[in-house]
Amino acid sequence: MSKYYLGVDLGSTTSKAVIINEQDEIIGRGITNTRANYAVAADIARDEALYNARFSVLEKKLEKEINARPEYKKYITDLESVFQYEQFKVKLDRLGDELVKTCNNFFKEEKKRNEILNHLRNIRRAFKPKIKHDYLYNNLGAKNQFFRDIVSEKYNEEVNKLDMQLFEPLMTVWDKSISPAENQRVQFNFKELVHKAMDELREKYKNLPETTADTSVNFDAEINLLKGNFDHVAETLRQHIDEIAELEFHISNMTGTGYGRALLPFPSDCIRSEILCHAFGAHAVFPETRTVLDIGGQDTKAIQVDKYGLVTSFQMNDRCAAGCGRYLGYIADEMSISLNELGPMAMKAEKEVNICSTCTVFAGAELRELTNLGEKREDILGGLHKAIIMRAMSLIARSGGVFNEFTFTGGVARNPAVIKYLTKLVRENYGDIIKINIHTDSIFMGALGGAMFARRNIQADLPSSKKEKETV
Amino acid sequence: MADPKEAIKEKSMVIQKDMLAKQFNDLSKAKELGKKVVYTFVPGNLTELILAFDMLPVYPEINALQSGMRKKSGDYIKDAEKIGYSEDVCTYVKCDIGMMLNGNIGPTGEKLPSPDLLLLSYTGCFTFLKWFENLERLYPGVPVAMLHTPYQEDGKITKDQVDYMVKQLKEEVIPKFEQVTGKKYDPARLSKLLENSVKAEEYWVKILEMAKNKPSPIDAYFAGVYYMGPINTAFRGTDECVEYYQELYNEVNERVKNKQLPVNPEGEMKEERFRLVVEGPPNWTNFREFWKIFYDMGAVIVASTYTKVGGLYDTGFRHNPAEPLESLAKYCMGCYTNLNLPQRVELIEKYVKEYKADGFLINSIKSCNSFSAGQLMIMRQIEQRTGVPVGFIESDLVDPRYFSYANIKNRLESYFQMLEQRKIILKQEQAIV
């Protein structure tokens, strides 16, 4: 039986899980927003990684076929997003139940209660098909794909269309319902759900328009080809799906890391510092790495590693989290744009407006003042991104500087403007010879490092952590 | 301080507790006893000279750290800030000022007497000057004697520097002592006290060096701050001080013979997993919690620089009864905070190598510039010279607002895991070779 290893990185903003095989290859990734209940966040990330692993295995099984007909790969990615939609639907039903429950508890007066319940039904009816459409046609794109973000965006949209008087009661009901709904872990039957997804997919392909006139769907010649072949492929696909659904993923060992690591329901000798995990993950992917910069939700770490990937020293921001992921989130809120739009907008800057940014909250005030002075949003954002990197550079200097090669990890590494200014400043300060590595999986580096520690069975058994091993 | 019912203490600790109780009791009755009181600082203190004039010393830094341990410093600091001391001022100063504003009640709950003399012997810390300027305003009319200790900028003590200090002692300090006490300076009495100092210093160095044993019988930082008490403050030169260190020496010797590990407030450590050298003062407001993080992880501090602020003896210096004033001068200039940065690096390098440390850790103090300036350079140098993993954490002396347990624990946990992982992987590497 194949052995698999799990790493869970419970960050301040997102929780990540990675499953690797015995060759250190990532076969499953899962990510969710961290919530008050850490254990649920970890479970959800792990479940997602396990589902993702099944799809990876499916893709591997069909390797030959896909090599022969590369367009077939689309079936698998499509199937996975429809599968996610199926999960989403179940969670949405749970949320619906919560909303009704809250409404019943909160509004004692029957008339008012019925009015709100009626609106809730209408809201749900209005946004459900939109979300389905986004999932089926991969329109979620660059936006955050966590349940809470998707639903709350649509819910807000609908509430804003209604009378202002309804805003407060509807938002109160929402605020009281979303967390309980989100904190329920839903156990899905993979096989059942994936077959449902297949049915949904059949519908999708059947209903695809014959021409490219409809621009609301990503229609192209390839899809046209797929459309014609779906029924033909579906039968074999279903057989393979049954096989992967039966697969047992034997997790031989696991490591938990990140801020909430102590709260993970893991045996305590399987808990490890995120500094070590990020460094180990980054070093595994880029073995020549000597300096690692990780910008996460609320901290920035500058880490020096040796040829083994062992940490020799590190520095972290101590009293202030300005310049981290949460800072960008705050700025995005201030500008009423999504987090993922920040970087691309900053890339359009023609100059960098000088931002002080020693404090996240003050940066908000600075932003308004600069807008007031007529500075362009793009240029302000350019300045903000540069300021973030200036802070990171100071931390890097404290940790000893940049040594070749330099690897950048963490959620913020997906932001193109951050990469632009980081590259510029690293080269300016430490020379053009520095090779800068950024991996598409950079947000998963901590979880990957954790999984790799688990595979090597390197114990973190300090005397303080010698408790009875619990089974997870 | 820790609740005696909970904390397990070594015998020497009990002796010390009695010494301190007597000291503060004497202080509370100073006026009745007809004793003059001198306020002065720990680094480069002139305890023997003070005792030779039968005066009682009060150390504001010690009071501040005691207030920190007794969870009173937060309120004292707030009171000092209320009357205008800024957030950035040294928290020892603010705590001390706040304590005085609140009736000057000392660590034992007894009132501390007002000073008859302010002896500003400033060594390594320029804030001391401003501190006593403020005390002068709080106690108008009290004479101030100033002793300037030249910084070891060139890394050595020159004859000119010694002469300069002896001149100050003769022309400024001793005359003020005579004026306040109405007694004549008695060189023979000072020499007699210095003889005792030397005896205690001999024991003290032997005790510290016993941490070279594996496992170490003592924690040279968390317990070290207790051990250093008598010799660094009011007792150096006394018979009790010699007795205390003799007892401590016997105790530690016994521990070495029995291969016993250090004692902490929860009992004896079970296993020595990491040997560390630590630079910088500890945090006092959360001292027990801070210590616990270390002993829970099996980390023992085998050498520390902080225990040398009141005198550095393990590089060979001893007081010299034959040249009393000269040796006081050399003692003042040799205190740890009066060393230049290359000297500090060299001392720490020596500690890491001789005490076979697995790592070097800095606790950087937010409000102490004299300690914190240059620490990143020190860290880098030690890393390069010794190859041991280095760690850096930040806290404060007595301002509880700057002790972030979660941040410190997170960094220390990472640091210990780093040391652990290094041991395992290097062992594997060696096995392959």
Instruction: Give me the pLDDT at residue A467, please.
Output: 39
**pLDDT (mean) for B215-231:** 96
Best mutation site among B410, B423, B424 for testing chain A: the one with the most A CBs within 10 Å?
Answer: B410
The minimum CA-CA distance between A347 and chain B, rounded to whole Å, is: 34
Q: Report how far apart, in Å, the C-alpha atoms of B146 and of each of A236, A341, B63, B119, B139 are.
A: 93, 64, 21, 6, 16
Least confident segment among A314-318, A382-386, B22-26: A314-318
Provide the 10 A C-beta neighbour count for residue B2. Answer: 13
Q: Measure CA B51 to chain center.
A: 20
A385-415 pLDDT, tens digit each: 998 899 899 999 999 999 999 999 998 898 9
Res. B245: pLDDT tops 50 = yes
Q: At A286, list the tokens.
A: 């880029």
Cβ of residue B389 closer than 8 Å to a chain A Cβ: yes
Least confident segment among A97-106, A383-392, A460-469: A460-469
> CB A312 to CB B389 under 8 A?
yes
Instruction: Give me the pLDDT at residue A463, please.
Output: 36
Instruction: Give me the pLDDT at residue B271, please.
Output: 94
**Contact assessment for residue A45 and residue A16, using Cβ atoms and an 8 Å cutoff:** yes
Q: With cut-offs at 50, 70 and 90, classify the pLDDT of residue B160.
A: very high
Query: Full-prediction pTM beyond 0.90?
Result: no
Best mutation site among A299, A315, A318, A403 for testing chain B: the one with the most B CBs within 10 Å?
Answer: A318
Write down the domain spans for chain B.
Answer: 11-184
**pLDDT (mean) for A348-363:** 84
> CB B413 to CB A273 under 8 A?
yes
Chain A residue with CA closest to B423: the answer is A310
> CB B407 to CB A464 under 8 A?
no
> CB A273 to CB B394 under 8 A?
no
Q: What is the DSSP letter of A183?
A: T
Q: Where are the alpha helices (DSSP H) in A162-311?
A: 164-182, 190-207, 221-246, 274-285
Q: What is the ipTM of this complex?
A: 0.79
Smallest Cβ distance to A313: which of B273, B389, B421? Answer: B389
Res. B178: pLDDT tops 70 = yes
Domain B11-184 is found in CATH 3.30.300.30: no
Computed over its alpha carbons, how large is the radius of gyration of chain B? Answer: 21
A317-348 pLDDT, tens digit each: 877 777 788 888 888 888 888 888 899 999 99
Best mutation site among B365, B413, B415 for testing chain A: the one with the most A CBs within 10 Å?
Answer: B413
**Contact assessment for residue B348 and residue B378, using Cβ atoms and an 8 Å cutoff:** yes
**Contact assessment for residue A381 and residue A417, using Cβ atoms and an 8 Å cutoff:** yes
The minimum CA-CA distance between B389 and chain A, rounded to whole Å, is: 5
Closest CA to A328 of A441, A438, A414, A442: A414
Res. A471: pLDDT tops 70 = no
B35-55 pLDDT, tens digit each: 999 999 999 999 999 999 999
Give all strands (DSSP E) within B4-98, no chain letters. Answer: 37-40, 56-58
> CB A462 to CB B392 under 8 A?
no
Domains of chain A: 1-40+251-283+453-472 (3.30.420.40), 62-249 (no CATH), 287-438 (3.30.420.40)
**Contact assessment for residue B277 and residue B361, using Cβ atoms and an 8 Å cutoff:** yes
The minimum CA-CA distance between A357 and chain B, rounded to whole Å, is: 21
Instruction: Give me the pLDDT at residue A338, please.
Output: 82
The minimum CA-CA distance between A3 and chain B, rounded to whole Å, is: 23
Higher pLDDT, A237 or B24: B24
Element (H, E) at A438: strand A436-438
Least confident segment among A85-99, A121-135, B37-51: A121-135
Tell me which residues of chain B, numbers 405 to 424, contact chain A at a CB-CB cutoff of 8 Å: 407, 410-411, 413-414, 416-418, 420-422, 424
Q: With cut-offs at 50, 70 and 90, classify the pLDDT of residue A357.
A: low
The minimum CA-CA distance between A310 and chain B, rounded to whole Å, is: 7
Best mutation site among A314, A320, A452 for testing chain B: the one with the most B CBs within 10 Å?
Answer: A314
Q: Please give the mean pLDDT across all residues of chain A.
A: 85
Q: With cut-offs at 50, 70 and 90, classify the pLDDT of residue B169.
A: very high
**pLDDT (mean) for A173-186:** 90
Order of strands across the sheet that contains B144-148: B56-58, B37-40, B117-122, B144-148
Res. A470: pLDDT tops 50 = no
Provide the 10 A C-beta neighbour count for residue A360. Answer: 19
Q: Please give the mean pLDDT across all residues of chain B.
A: 93
